[in-house]
Amino acid sequence: MKFKGLNKVWSRILNILFWSIISAAFIGPGTVTTATKAGSDFQFQLLWALSFSTVACLVLQEASARSTIYSGMNLGQAIKYHYMGKRAQVPILVLIVGAIILGCAAYETGNILGSVEGISLVFPKLDKRIIVGIIALIAGLALSLKSLRSIANFMGSFVFVMGFTFITTAVLSHPPVEEIMHGLVMPSLPDTPGAGLLVLGLVGTTVVPYDLFLGSNVVQKDTTVTDMRIGISVAVILGGIISMAILCVGTEMTRGFTPEAAKNLEFSYKLLSNTLVLNIGQWAVYVFGFGMFAAGFTSAITSPLASALTARSIFEKKDEKGNSKNGHIFKWVSYVVLLIGITLGFLQIKPVPAIVAAQAFNGLILPFVAVFLFMVVNNPAIMGVDHVNGVFSNVCMVVVTWVTLVLGIVNVTKSVVSMMDGVQVSPDALFGSASALALLITVLVTIHILAKRKREIKQMLQSQQS
């Protein structure tokens, strides 16, 4: 009995370690940059945005994994099935795969550059090109592993190291507990231009489109819904706590500054390093640097992996025995994404603009994936009549879908405006207009999905009775 109990505990630990690949995927240099800037600009006022984005990530990841367990299809296959026999199928599938691969390639550049910046904080005299080469070699070896569980466990161990470094740095900076608790549970939007966009940035850096395909693809055949929910919950909540710790570290950059003085500070890793030395000590730079490296390195592996898994889930062909006929092609997808990141890393592109560009691209893809997932979990032909979303799950999905649409509309508008000389849009006006338009789209999409679900359930029940 004693050994059975120990085996059960060990099984739970391995399950959590396995699902920590989700945390490894969304905690990257983008998270570090965005969360640090949020702390630097607004202290603890935007912690609630990370609370919300953690819940949103949990809602979508759980739905994606649950659909795989009940349907036997991963998210890519489920979307393919949903549009089977329809003209829109091929364009939609090409859009999804193309967007995910391009998004992963954009992220990969930021991931590698971010991990290089982390090591550079610890070893400032080390040639950055050498660091890029070492990271590329280790990432390539990790991607060559045949066992997905081995890759996941490898990533999971890095997540716990990363969590230790960031949380330790945050705790030893002695942040005010009362302000943290207030920021966590009391939503407020500072009356400052750009605050709304930064909130969306915090959501966008936590709820990552390719992460949904990754989580769906790593579900094992013998995984139960209970084990999945425990593993995903711990992994995502741990990831949220790490992001919050990073935000707390960011507050050190402007603590004691006036709002006007804080506004004029331009974020850089060098400035962050100097701040940590002054406020905590030189050792804090080393700890934070290793955490930054771990964040970039883990994401440098999960981005190529997710792009390959997404492409395979949609376009893989199998023979009569169930063996893949074109599986080797998708392995090369991961290497191409890695190669893009390595190439731009060797060119020494500035990391912060590359990371911001990847975040913007993420905002364009995410609404589509969220809507497709919303359709899948409400499709009785995929989920089964007894396992389609309940009322509470649908309410959560509606809220999350609305937020992702706001994020997407804002990013599209900003991209269009940036190409028009002399045209400027107020951040607050942009945020308000995007929110209203996203609400209208969300309502229409929800009505369509639920009406279609009702018709299909009725037809399925009638066919069973006859």
Residue 10 maps to a domain: no
Residue 411 maps to a domain: yes
Instruction: Give the C-alpha separation, 82 to 86, whole Å.
Output: 9
Residue 154 maps to a domain: yes
Q: Write phi, then psi, for 24 (nearest 5 degrees).
A: -60, -35
User: At CA 50, angle to CA 48 and CA 52, rounded to 5?
Assistant: 70
Q: Are 48 and 186 within 8 A, CB to CB? A: yes
Single-letter residue type at 376: V
Q: Which residues of the chain have pLDDT under 70?
A: 1-18, 147-148, 193-194, 255-267, 318-328, 349-363, 415, 418-419, 421-422, 466
Q: Which residues contact 216 (CB under 8 A, 6 or more apart)?
A: 64, 65, 67, 68, 74, 75, 76, 313
pLDDT digits (tens, 9 = 90+) for 232-267: 888 889 889 989 998 988 888 776 565 565 566 666
DSSP for 250-278 reads HGGGTTT--HHHHHTPPP-HHHHHHHHHH
Residue 282 maps to a domain: yes
Q: What is the pLDDT of residue 289?
A: 84
Domain CATH code at residue 273: 1.20.1740.10
Instruction: Give the C-alpha separation, 388 to 171, whole Å.
Output: 42
97 alpha carbon, distance to own chain's centre: 17
Q: Given CA atoms 240, 16, 103, 213 in this order, what sign does their dihedral have?
A: negative
Q: Which residues contact 421 (CB under 8 A, 6 or more apart)?
A: none
Two structure tokens written together for 358: 């990847």
Per DSSP, the three-state class of 149 is helix
Residue 1 maps to a domain: no
Residue 202 maps to a domain: yes
Q: What is the pLDDT of residue 445?
A: 93
Residue identified by tokens 């005299």 is 125
Q: What is the pLDDT of residue 378?
A: 93
Q: What is the pLDDT of residue 257?
A: 60
Please, what's the b/e burial string for 133-144 (b: 16 or more CB within 10 A of its CB; e: otherwise)? eebbeebbebbe
Residue 3 maps to a domain: no
Structural domain containing residue 201: 15-186+193-465
Residue 249 maps to a domain: yes
Instruction: Give the C-alpha separation, 327 to 101, whole Å.
Output: 16
Q: Which of 339, 346, 340 is nearest to 140 (CA)?
A: 339
Rg (CA), the chain: 22
Beta strands, E only, 67-202 = none
Q: Are 204 and 366 within 8 A, CB to CB? A: yes
The domain total for the chain is 1
pLDDT digits (tens, 9 = 90+) for 322-343: 666 666 677 788 888 888 888 8
Q: What is the pLDDT of residue 395?
A: 94
Per DSSP, the three-state class of 3 is helix
Q: What is the pLDDT of residue 443?
A: 95
Instruction: Give the C-alpha separation, 387 to 227, whole Å.
Output: 17
pLDDT digits (tens, 9 = 90+) for 342-368: 887 787 766 556 566 666 666 677 888
